């Protein structure tokens, strides 16, 4: 394990979340003063903070976030700036797949802009202690909410209770892991000896079946497995499909939706949904191809490198 730990990617020494494709997001939303904007993935409020500054505090932000710690940090950020705190903002704990209910409860019938940043927060990787990162030895939980009971199962339950075939399927489908079959088989073998309860134990299981030649690349060999399990625990694909459909319905005519995705499966779902709306004459594709980070942004924030931004405008 010691040798493997040394190869783990250290992309950031800080838990500070840096908004990805920030200027492109603000430009893409094409907002006007007084607009109501849904930030469906508030995080620590990085994108919404800059939107408010851009509109000189004349904005109405509704932010949805599953992590209560992130909401508190977003509030601190907003109240710390004299311009931004002039904005109207409401932050609600929850999953964006329920955004229609949230907006209805707030009496918001229509919005002028919707933003989805599908990247996982740096703090979740580095501070949550819920097992999102293979760089720290933590319990295998992986729920985006602090309350593990908010999801039907945890990562530990997947690796210790699911059938081998089901594990293989999620590693292939959500992680696009080429060694899914071998990893799933080894997980089942190892858990018969001892339950797999921590991130480092899972990394060991993965390491045993990954060929040595695949362990020295830019991407750590456990990345895809961890990604697939996290997506499964939080039903991120189902939530994404529900969320973007409901947000589009809530957009005013001329309103825009911006989605930033970070892996191919997410991007395909967004691309397909936007294309369907365009073919139905319900929307206009503002981006024919996704906008990606510049070399300068990637050098400042390596986690931005896989970001893809797509924009649609409602007819």
Q: List pLDDT tens digits, range 118-165.
A: 988 776 667 778 999 999 999 999 998 876 666 789 999 999 999 999
Q: Write down the pLDDT at residue 6.
A: 37
Cα radius of gyration rounded to whole Å, the chain: 20
Question: Model's pTM, two decimal places?
Answer: 0.88
The pLDDT value given to residue 10? 37
Strand order in the sheet with 36-39: 88-93, 60-65, 36-39, 111-117, 251-261, 308-314, 283-285
- The tens digit of pLDDT for each residue in 258-286 reads 999 998 999 999 999 999 999 999 999 99
22-122+236-314 has the same fold as 2-11+128-233:
no
SS3 14: coil
For 289, the token pair is 């191809």
Residue 218's pLDDT is 82
Q: What percent of the chain has pLDDT over 90?
A: 84
Retrieve residue 208's tokens: 């045993």
| Class of domain 2-11+128-233 (CATH, top level) | mainly alpha
Spans of all domains in the chain: 2-11+128-233, 22-122+236-314
Confidence of residue 60 (pLDDT cuts 50, 70, 90): very high
Superfamily of domain 22-122+236-314: Vaccinia Virus protein VP39 (3.40.50.150)
pLDDT at position 212, please? 92
In tens, the pLDDT along 172-194 reads 999 999 999 999 999 999 999 99
Q: How far apart are CA 262 and CA 125, in angstroms?
A: 15
Is the Cβ–Cβ distance between 124 and 68 less than 8 Å?
no
Rounded mean pLDDT, 216-236 = 93
Looking at residue 202, its pLDDT comes to 98
pLDDT score, position 126: 74
pLDDT of 5 above 80: no
């Amino acid at each position: 394990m010691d040798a493997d730990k040394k190869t783990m990617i250290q992309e950031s020494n800080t838990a500070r979340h840096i908004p990805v494709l920030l200027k492109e997001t603000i430009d893409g939303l094409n907002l006007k003063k007084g607009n109501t904007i849904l930030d469906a993935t508030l995080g620590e409020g990085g994108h919404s903070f800059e939107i408010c500054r851009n509109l000189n505090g004349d904005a109405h932000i509704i932010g949805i976030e599953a992590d209560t710690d992130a909401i508190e940090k977003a509030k601190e950020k907003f109240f710390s700036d004299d311009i931004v705190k002039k904005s109207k903002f409401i932050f609600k704990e929850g999953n964006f797949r329920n955004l229609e209910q949230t907006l209805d409860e707030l009496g918001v019938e229509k919005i002028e802009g919707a933003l989805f940043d599908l990247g996982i927060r740096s703090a979740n990787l580095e501070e949550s202690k819920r097992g999102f990162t293979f760089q720290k030895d933590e319990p295998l939980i992986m729920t985006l909410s602090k309350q593990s009971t908010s999801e039907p199962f945890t990562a530990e339950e997947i690796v210790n209770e699911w059938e081998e075939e089901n594990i293989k399927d999620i590693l292939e489908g959500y992680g696009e892991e080429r060694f899914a079959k071998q990893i799933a088989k080894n997980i089942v073998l190892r858990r018969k000896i001892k339950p797999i309860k921590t991130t480092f134990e899972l990394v060991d299981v993965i390491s045993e079946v990954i060929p040595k030649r695949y362990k020295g690349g830019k991407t750590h060999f456990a990345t895809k497995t961890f990604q697939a399990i996290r997506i499964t625990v939080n039903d991120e694909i189902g939530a994404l499909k529900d969320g973007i459909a409901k947000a589009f319905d809530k957009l005013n005519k001329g309103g825009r939706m911006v989605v930033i995705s970070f892996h191919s499966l997410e991007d395909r779902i967004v691309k397909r949904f936007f294309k369907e709306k365009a073919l139905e004459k319900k929307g206009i594709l503002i981006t024919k191809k996704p906008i990606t980070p510049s070399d300068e942004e990637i050098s400042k924030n390596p986690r931005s490198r896989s970001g893809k931004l797509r924009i649609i405008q409602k007819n």
